[in-house]
Amino acid sequence: MGSLSSFSPRRRSLALGGLAALVGAPAWSQRTPVKVRFQCDWRFEAGTIPYVVALRKGYFADEGLDVTLNVGAGASATVTRLASGNFDMGTGDMNSLAEFAGNNGLVPAKAVMLMYESTPAAIFSLRKTGISKPADLRGRTLAAPANDGARRIFPAFALANGLDPANDVAWTSVDPAMRETMLARGQAEVISGYMASGWVSLQRLGVDPKDIAVMKYAEHGVKLPGNAILARPGFIDEQPEAVAAFLRAVTRGLKDAHTDRAGAVAVLKGHEPLVDTRIEAMRLGVVLDGEIATPTVRRQGIGDIDLARYQEGIDALAKFLSFKTTPDAATLVDTRFLPPLAQRKVFSA
């Protein structure tokens, strides 16, 4: 099979459709496996389970792929790492992707499969501080890593709730591994982060969930997407079949994680022995039930991207983050490689 990038648009579309419809290992996978350097957005925790399952259960190998999973430093950092050319694909924040493109005049990666329909970003505090609504953040100092996705898009949360993001709050940069610990110990009064990280990690540290105050961005007027599987444009052009194969394998991994959650956590434990299975089971529930399996995904399947909605979010980001230029959403998205709808309907409607 020749490279899909050498086909006419119609032939390329037909070829991709044929690729997606195949069951089991495609013929091209009998060649030397294609190496895929994949950048995770975070540590090997529940959020990475679909990829870990696909690796450990041989789904990538079935598709003719030799995948290396790399620990991440945040969904925003994935974008810059893909831009460096050191990775081929990764899980990254779609808002950070737009910001990079808007400020650098180039497309470092394209979103090929949406994982979180809405941003999982949130603000966390302890109820004893009296912080329960956005207005309570005035005069407070928030702690987060410098490249934290929730911190980067905080202006969207602020402006949607009558706050001045530049003057009403202050920020202090902290190590990702210490963020929740500092809040639990009273060394920070407010933190930003993703639900699967902040909500679960605070409980792992012994904080009673009744004592945690949470403000989810998506429930406070922020209509931005979250993480997607991204691929470098060069890798898409050179290995289009591999991109489609990767998404098929991950979709299988996601289905396994949904249908056998205890088994999926056990696979994670085999990959990263230091994880706490009780905590990761809890975290997996947050990821699957609270972030991925939205009503839209239950009806329409995982992965597709609403370009109009994404453009609306980009336009808002460009305004309050002062992008040099405003990217066209269509230039940042390429969903030709998604598996067939029947395969993507992982969750019951």
| pLDDT 10s digits, 78-96 | 999 999 999 999 999 999 9
Percent of the chain scoring above 90 in pLDDT: 84
Q: Is the pLDDT of residue 33 over 50?
A: yes
Q: How confident is the model at residue 26 (pLDDT cuts 50, 70, 90)?
A: low
Does residue 270 lie in a domain region? yes
Q: Is the pLDDT of residue 29 over 90?
A: no
pLDDT digits 0-9 by tens, 111-127: 999 999 999 999 999 99
pLDDT digits 0-9 by tens, 220-268: 999 999 999 999 999 999 999 999 999 999 999 999 999 999 999 999 9
Of 183, 202, 219, which one is at a domain's C-terminal end? 219
HEC profile of the chain: CCCHHHCCHHHHHHHHHHHHHCCCCCHHHHCCCEEEEEECCCCCCHHHHHHHHHHHCCHHHHCCEEEEEECCCCHHHHHHHHHCCCCCEEEEEHHHHHHHHHHHCCCCCEEEEECCCCCCEEEEEEHHHCCCCHHHHCCCEEEECCCCHHHHCHHHHHHHCCCCCCCCCEEEECCHHHHHHHHHCCCCCEEEEEHHHHHHHHHHCCCCHHHEEEEEHHHCCCCCCCEEEEECHHHHHHCHHHHHHHHHHHHHHHHHHHHCHHHHHHHHHHHCCCCCHHHHHHHHHHHHHHHHCCHHHHHHCCECCCHHHHHHHHHHHHHHCCCCCCCCHHHHECCCCCCCHHHHCCCCC
* Strand partners for 125: 213
pLDDT score, position 8 = 40
Question: 234 and 140: one domain?
Answer: no
Of 176, 191, 219, which one is at a domain's C-terminal end? 219
Question: 240 and 303: one domain?
Answer: yes
Helix 277-285 vs helix 261-271: angle between axes, to the nearest 10 degrees?
130
Question: 186 and 54: one domain?
Answer: no
93: CATH = 3.40.190.10
Positive or negative torsion for Cα 210, 214, 218, 221: positive
Does residue 349 lie in a domain region? no
- Torsion angle defined by CA atoms of residues 150, 346, 112 and 69, in that order, rounded to the nearest 10 degrees: 70
Question: 10 and 97: one domain?
Answer: yes
Displacement of CA 294 from its chain's centroid (Å): 15
Give this prediction's pTM. Answer: 0.86
Domain that holds residue 181: 121-219
Question: 62 and 169: one domain?
Answer: no
The identity of residue 326, as a single letter, is: T
Taking residues 316-343, report their average pLDDT.
95
What is the tally of structural domains in the chain? Answer: 2
Q: Is the pLDDT of residue 168 over 80?
A: yes
Rg of the chain over Cα atoms, rounded to whole angstroms, equals 20
Does residue 69 lie in a domain region? yes
Q: Is the pLDDT of residue 207 over 80?
A: yes
Does residue 281 lie in a domain region? yes
Half-sphere exposure of 156 (CA within 13 A, CB side): 27
pLDDT score, position 147 = 76
Of 219, 248, 263, which one is at a domain's C-terminal end? 219
Question: 238 and 168: one domain?
Answer: no
Q: Is the pLDDT of residue 152 over 90?
A: no
Percent of the chain scoring above 70 in pLDDT: 91
